Amino acid sequence: MTAVAIVCLSSTPPALAEPMSLLDRHGSRVAIEPYAPNIVRVTIALDKALAEAPPGDGPIAKADASGWVHRTDASGDIFSSPALTLTVDAKPWPKAPSQMERYFASALPPVSMSVQDANGTLLTKMTGWEMAPVTVNGEKTFKVGATFASPADEHYYGLGQNQEGSLDLRGRQIDCQHYYDAPAGETVCVPFMVTNKGYGIVWDNPARTLVWPGLHSTTRWQSQVGERVSFFVITGKTTDELYAGYAKLTGETPLPPKAGFGLIQSKARYESQQELLGIANGYRQRGLPLDIMVLDWFYWTRMGQIDIDRTYFPDPKGMNDTLKSMGMRSIISVWPRFERESRYFDMLATKGFLLHDKEGNPIDGLPMRYDRAGALLDSTNPEARQWFWGTVRDNILSQGFDWLWLDETEPDLIPDGYWYARGSGDRYHNLYPLVHTSGVADGSARDRPDFRNMILARAAYIGSQRTGSLFWSSDVHATWDALKRQVPTGLNFTASGLAYWGSDIGGWQWPKGPKAQRPVLVDPAGATAMDADYPDYPELFVRWFQYSVFTPTLRIHGQRPGTALWEYGAAAEPILAEWLRLRYALMPYLYAMGRRTYESGAPFMRALFMDFPKDPKVATIGDQYMFGPAFLVAPVTEQGQTKRTVYLPAGTAWYDYWTDQRFEGGQTVEVDAPINRMPLFVRAGSIVPMGVAVRSTAEKQALESIRVYPGANGRFTLYDDDGTTNAYRKSGMKAELVWDDRTRQLTSRSRLPTGQALTGLVRIVGQ
């Protein structure tokens, strides 16, 4: 170890950011590189050039060592900022190994380090690293990883989408890879994990990665391909500071178009222009709000033609004009797959724009599922991305469609054993959804600069939030078990720094489930969405819809005869209609949450650990959550259930949304949950704006009321804009509402975005 004097680092980063310091621990090279006072990157390798090399594709921030100081003492090299201190431990000259050590010990020179907060409290300690030689896809490479100490009271969240049914990741093995066929439902790898100890780790490796959080008192990361260890530590006094750091490092979350917060109606699939417009008309004739109609797959003549079959969709431009005249928008599904017989296949193969084997031959289909339906566009190739966007723009979007659904973004055609232009499919296993959606986001920004982009995407990676994507939990089953799993699944996904997530309401797979064990709560008479042997399916759909009204996106989809709101029977329809109207009444609240996420990076569908860190009881609760600052949501996920217990976090009072009854926090209550009601509570001090009824977000929505739940002071920033352009990045209408609980007055220093006067809108709950 070379002694280094105290050095104040320059506030101006060089053009090519150098590590703050490159240390040598007897052959292990350790690079320490700050990105902000609370963000630091650690890279460990045997090769100096690898240790100094930049991070992978997810992070986009520039290194910034402003305010950091480096000093050395007997303990090691100490790097400190106003937010954290990282100490790379000194290592004595290695002694000769014992007989046991000769057999078991790693050949790697050891590296360990610790991270403390500004008060000197230990946040985490890395105890070692690993590099084990392997041959993967013909490449001589390594498995690489690092191990961290795990105290008994540490809990872990995030890592993308895992549908195994629990929130806390502690004590589990997380196979961090995109995998459509995962037994419990598709897994999606976003290697960002946050803890309840005031820090998070962004793991900088796109290969399949195994993570064992808190297993046997350690947390271990192991990527299956790599030649170095690279990760970022983000610290924060609150979880929102962690997400602000993640956004700084990997990109902000754009504000979706306002229509993206409304109802998105889909089906696998609408077979004709007439059928799609008939469903849209059905909503308007029934007085039900709707924002977006979706045209799913097989509207084309062949997979990869990137065309619209005019036999069934004779006038797509006229269809979209009709939707717009009804106050609706459209999304169309475009796949990255190309059949050999399609018009672009030979060109793409010749240019090397397809996933291929080591001889360069395109990989056609999925042999494990007897799927021979085409080769995969190689979106790691920038030229292929540009070609794809330009072709989709000219062939599809030119017909009046607003936004794209990029399906199969995991991708479904597994790249392991094959090759991208970038390199081995195993090495870049998890990268595809970021580069594929980025190609569309970049193209839209270039060619439609005044139109707000939105993408429906089935998978994500570090930084995918910056592409304007809305994500969903893939093709889940239409069962009660699948619904129950959605709640913790979504909470871990948003805990991974990606705010916009939802599920196919009612499940995507054909409705089929076990026989109901309790009396069915929704009479299935008149339902056409399922066969007669699933009489509790309308009840399941009602519960799934209630839950989804309180998720970031509200999208009906599925492989069934009918999916529209009136196709679940006469008993279900009025319940569903009321919940849909509640979603639209909450649009001023929802849109303000979207703006807050754009500015802060923090999700608004929030596991309880985020907002109640001093209440240890919430650390493992995965069947309740906060929706914005006001609502505590407790979905009903059991068939025939008419009551459920709800834990009310300590430190605040709570109001039952339906009865206005007040409860003190820190207790578990049992509440009624008849089929038309899902348990909802509102935190004391909340300000909840409610809008008047509208047909869609295309209509200007006035405020119907502003509800105030007394018991604490409160603030809420109302926000509005045109809902469709990118002007929100520079402008928008805001009004900060302030509730003084002592004087029981709600005030605003500025005019409300709707132009209404505050007087007459305020409703104080319980008064």
Residue of 77, 291, 408, 410 with catalytic role? 410
Q: What are phi and psi of 586, to 5 degrees?
A: -85, 5
Q: Decide: helix, strand or coil at residue 30.
A: strand
Give the H or E element holding residue 491: helix 480-495
Beta carbons within 10 angstroms of residue 120's beta carbon: 7
- Identify whether the C-beta of residue 175 lies closer than 8 Å to the C-beta of residue 210: yes
Residue of 402, 475, 573, 611 with catalytic role? 475
200 token code pair: 């998070």
Q: Cα separations (Å) of 598 from 183, 244, 307, 602?
A: 34, 10, 35, 8
* 291 catalytically annotated: no
Three-state SS string over 288-330 comes to: CCCCEEEECCCCCCCCCCCCCCCCCCCCHHHHHHHHHHCCCEE
Give the H or E element holding residue 348: helix 345-351
552 token code pair: 């970031």
Q: Cα separations (Å) of 194 from 73, 85, 112, 168, 199?
A: 31, 18, 20, 11, 6
Whole-number Å distance between alpha carbons of 120 and 84 = 8
Peptide bond into 415 cis (omega under 30): no
**DSSP single-letter state for residue 505:** B
* 407 catalytically annotated: yes
Peptide bond into 751 cis (omega under 30): no
- Identify whether the C-beta of residue 271 lies closer than 8 Å to the C-beta of residue 308: no
Whole-number Å distance between alpha carbons of 269 and 291 = 18
Whole-number Å distance between alpha carbons of 582 and 605 = 17
Residue of 57, 154, 168, 407 with catalytic role? 407
* 346 catalytically annotated: no
- Identify whether the C-beta of residue 192 lies closer than 8 Å to the C-beta of residue 496: yes
In the chain, the amino acid numbered 575 is I
CA angle 229, 233, 234 (to 5 degrees): 155
CA angle 174, 180, 183 (to 5 degrees): 60
SS3 percent helix, strand, coil of the chain, rounded to 5, is 20, 30, 50
Q: Which residues contact 29 (CB under 8 A, 6 or more apart)?
A: 22, 23, 44, 45, 46, 47, 48, 50, 51
Whole-number Å distance between alpha carbons of 98 and 616 = 44
Q: Quickly tell me which residue has 């002007």 as its tokens.
A: 727
Q: CB burial class (10 A; 0-12, 13-18, 19+) of residue 659?
A: exposed
Whole-number Å distance between alpha carbons of 304 and 298 = 10
**What is the tally of helices (H) and strands (E) in the chain?**
13, 42
Tell me the CB-side half-sphere exposure of residue 64, using CA atoms within 13 A: 14
H-type helices in 496-549, by residue range?
Answer: 537-549
Whole-number Å distance between alpha carbons of 157 and 167 = 7
Whole-number Å distance between alpha carbons of 59 and 431 = 12
Of the candidates 767, 275, 215, 296, the one whose C-alpha atom is nearest the C-alpha of residue 562 is 275
Q: Cα separations (Å) of 682 from 612, 671, 685, 740?
A: 14, 14, 9, 17
- Identify whether the C-beta of residue 354 lies closer than 8 Å to the C-beta of residue 376: yes
Show which residues are catalytic. 407, 410, 475
